[in-house]
Chain A
Amino acid sequence: MHIRAWGLALAASICVGQGTYAASAEHGKIAFMQHGCWQCHGTMGQGSIATSGGKRLAPNPLPWETFYAFVRSTNRAMPPFSEKILSDGDLEDIYAYLQSVPKPPDVNSIPLLKP
């Protein structure tokens, strides 16, 4: 299963890299909500120490290959999402959404967060 996941990961990577599949950030946002990603990672992938160990998905998501492999085969706190319940197309769109999330404002520019 791991080999299969890696194989698909590479395939998806190549497709994404060659632009043969036009991943949609707009649809990715919908898929991110429908598949429950927001539940632990927040609607902008900002993460939480309570539900994602403080890890953020966006902006600057993990490299696609790493991201794909983790989603498909993780055995840690996050449950894996198989292709049966989350298609490669939807996952690519989710990745595109995460790539589209803008960087936050500089923390020093936020008066409420000044030390």
Chain B
Amino acid sequence: MARADSQTRFNRRKFLAGVAIAGAAGAAAPPAAKAATTALTPGAGPHPSALRPNAAVAATETATPPAMAKAEGVPGSDFMVDVIKSLDIDYLPCNPAQSFRGLHESLINYGRNKKPEFLTCTHEEASVAMAHGYFKIAGKPLLVLCHGTVGLQHAAMAIYNAWCDRVPVIVMGGTDLDASKRPPGVPTFHSAQDINALVRDFTKWDDQPISLPHFAQSFVRAYKLAMTPPHEPVMIALDTGLQEETVRDRSKLAIPRYAPTAPPQGDMNAVREAARLLANAERPVIVADKCARTANGVKLLVEVAELLQAPVIDQKGRMNFPNTHYLSQNSRGRALLGEADVILGLELSDYWGTVNGFIDNGENEGAGLQESHIKPNAKLISISSIVLNTKSNYQDFQRFQAVDVEMAGDGEATLPALIEAVKQALQADRKAAIEARGNSMKKAWSEARGRTRAAASFAWDASPISTARMAMEVYAQIKDLDWSSVGGDRQLSSWPSRLWPMDKHYHHIGGPGGYGIGYGAPAAVGAALANRAEGRFSVNFQPDGDMMFSPGVLWTAARHKIPLLSVMHNNRGYHQEVMHVQRMSNRRNRVAYLGKDLGPMGTRIENPNIDYAKLASSMGMYGVGPITDPNELAPALKKAVQAVKSGEPALVDVVTQPR
């Protein structure tokens, strides 16, 4: 279809057909193709477990192409590069694939491998997760190219994480649409009518352009939609034929101008009602999840919290609120919500889960205990853009929670109006009560800090090493640097978020969104890549289970000299599942079968233990460990920090307590 409507008359198809015919005839078959034929001869040796490709297919995949027919004009994919360059995209983390070979060639030769620069990835899940982490530091999306069908299936989990985490990624999947012309065998296995269907449930928009002008429109539209809150991934199916057709008159192809779309803002009447409730509340509480997208977002949240002297519970989907501020009251979250008369939820992923509790104990006919944590008459306010873009199949929208004032708008974009409305709504006679609230928060903050420090001292000298000790040994080595924590820390009892002073918007970047394992290592590399441009020091506490989903990303970091300190949180297990299987065993009154492991069979990563330092070394980066003695941490970390400061990635393997 693309060819019928395109400008091209180039004979790429005849060239491919020629190669296939030559291979079938055998006369021109390359050595690999001959070997494939020989191996299928009866009695020639053990039968393979799957049929090898026949000579024609093997030749198509492995033959050296003869001189290509010359065509007048420029390749269609050169024009695609012009379109891509118009959007100032920095990098292109990709695993190479035949279905986008035309564009690949144009990007590195015509585009000179700049803006975007190709980053060689070993798995498409890592490519997308790198783009995910990159955005959360740089605020700019990356482009990911992947093989249609097979590569996109690898990428799918990472796209889902980006969807749940509201992060834009521009994904393009190569596909060969014209069945009558595409090469048989592998390229046809790798084509589909509609590759976008694979990820349509968790992308904001997708398209399959059938001409170059259509591509230009689609790409700019995709970028624009992805970058309009709620940020989400978008998908474009890229026809192989379209990439390889010839443009005879480039001057006739235009690139649409990109202008950013203003983010949606909450309705002003609703903003004023929310302000009235907050200004008159005795015990208001602010809960923020994915609210602050920028440094200004943090500043705005501080301003509204100070106006009200309201405690803030940061659910850490983003770096929303400085933990150095006395209104940061994360450790008292449950108690504060229980006493609240007005709760402001800002971009909450799970409002129901914020104000209700769930205990997975098998009671209530297996549904567990479900209990409200708030007063029955508490007023709930929500500002969230996600309601503007909710789909049906995947349940990332969570349970339904009725709220009193709900705004379909971006949290950060709505805060300036809310601040002004709160200023208007605050009455002079409330001043003393608000000031008293602030004073009680200062006292509570100080006491909570003391309790947290004391809690960190327990098991301080333990082996396996306590996660608090690990966190503070790392902090001691980087505290004088301009650091950025580029991984989640929930799995290590949130010690960095609780003990490290975090007041800059890049001090942490939240988690995966969809909790799909395999996000951590590549997202950290992507975020570190963005931090590299700012001269920041990136550190990631890397869970062992997550590492083994995409360990190849360590090689990508070494290959492209992305400085990142990875500190393994090596508890030698899929620990969440360790606990789940133990829970089920108890519930069924059975002893959990451990075999020779320390946890229920099938949940531990031991026997043998993985040597992550050797894994790192094998990828060309500095690696040290495993470290089991806490007193050996400081010297090991010091060396690793030096390696990272020199511009290289480094890894320290720490054998840790479970959480």
Assembly CA distance A3 to B357 (angstroms): 29
Q: Is the CB of B493 within 8 A of A43?
A: no
CB distance from A102 to the nearest CB of B (A): 9
Residue B462 is within 8 A (CB to CB) of chain A in the complex: yes
Interface mask (B340-365 → A, CB under 8 Å = 1, otherwise 0):
00000000000000000001110100
Q: Is the CB of A110 within 8 A of B491?
A: no
Q: Which chain B residues lie closer than 8 Å to A51 at the CB level?
A: 579, 658-659
Q: From A74, which residue of chain B is reached at the shortest CB distance?
A: B361
Q: Is the CB of B472 within 8 A of A50?
A: no
Number of residues of chain A lying within 8 A (CB) of chain B: 34
Interface mask (A76-92 → B, CB under 8 Å = 1, otherwise 0):
11011110110000000
Q: Is the CB of A113 within 8 A of B585?
A: no
A36: contacting residue among B457, B469, B582, B589, CB under 8 A: B582
Q: From B586, which residue of chain A is reached at the shortest CB distance?
A: A79
Q: Which chain A residues lie closer than 8 Å to B578 at the CB level?
A: 36, 39
Interface mask (A26-42 → B, CB under 8 Å = 1, otherwise 0):
00000001101011101
B460: contacting residue among A56, A77, A104, CB under 8 A: A104
Assembly CA distance A85 to B359 (angstroms): 22
Stretch at the interface among B108-116, B175-183, B221-229, B448-456: B448-456
| Residues 592 to 619 of chain B near chain A (Cβ within 8 Å) | 592, 594, 598-600
With A40-B579, A51-B658, A104-B459: A85-B586 Cβ-Cβ less than 8 Å? yes
By secondary structure, the A interface counts as loop
Residue B494 is within 8 A (CB to CB) of chain A in the complex: yes
Residue A75 is within 8 A (CB to CB) of chain B in the complex: yes
Q: From B471, which residue of chain A is reached at the shortest CB distance?
A: A112
Q: Which chain B residues lie closer than 8 Å to A79 at the CB level?
A: 361, 582-583, 586-587
With A46-B466, A50-B490, A76-B361: A104-B458 Cβ-Cβ less than 8 Å? yes
Q: Which chain A residues lie closer than 8 Å to B455 at the CB level?
A: 47, 54, 56
Q: Which chain B residues lie closer than 8 Å to A63 at the CB level?
A: none
Residue A48 is within 8 A (CB to CB) of chain B in the complex: yes
Q: From B598, which residue of chain A is reached at the shortest CB distance?
A: A33
Q: Is the CB of A85 within 8 A of B490?
A: no
Q: Which chain A residues lie closer than 8 Å to B598 at the CB level?
A: 33, 38
Q: Indicate the member of A50, A54, A81 with the most B CB atoms within 10 Å.
A: A50
Q: From B590, which residue of chain A is reached at the shortest CB distance?
A: A85
| Residues 557 to 604 of chain B near chain A (Cβ within 8 Å) | 575, 578-579, 582-583, 585-587, 589-592, 594, 598-600
CB distance from A1 to the nearest CB of B (A): 12
Residue B476 is within 8 A (CB to CB) of chain A in the complex: yes
Q: Is the CB of B493 within 8 A of A77?
A: no
Assembly CA distance A50 to B462 (angstroms): 19
Assembly CA distance A76 to B586 (angstroms): 13
Q: Which chain A residues lie closer than 8 Å to B82 at the CB level?
A: none
26 A-B pairs with C-beta separation under 8 A: A34-B594, A36-B579, A39-B658, A40-B579, A40-B659, A42-B657, A48-B493, A48-B658, A49-B494, A50-B490, A50-B491, A51-B658, A54-B455, A75-B361, A76-B361, A77-B359, A81-B586, A82-B586, A82-B589, A84-B589, A85-B591, A105-B460, A107-B457, A112-B472, A113-B499, A115-B449
Which residues of B line the A interface, CB within 8 A?
359-361, 363, 369, 449, 453-462, 464, 466-467, 469, 472-473, 475-476, 490-491, 493-494, 499, 575, 578-579, 582-583, 585-587, 589-592, 594, 598-600, 657-659
Which residues of A line the B interface, CB within 8 A?
33-34, 36, 38-40, 42-44, 46-51, 54, 56, 75-77, 79-82, 84-85, 104-107, 110, 112-113, 115
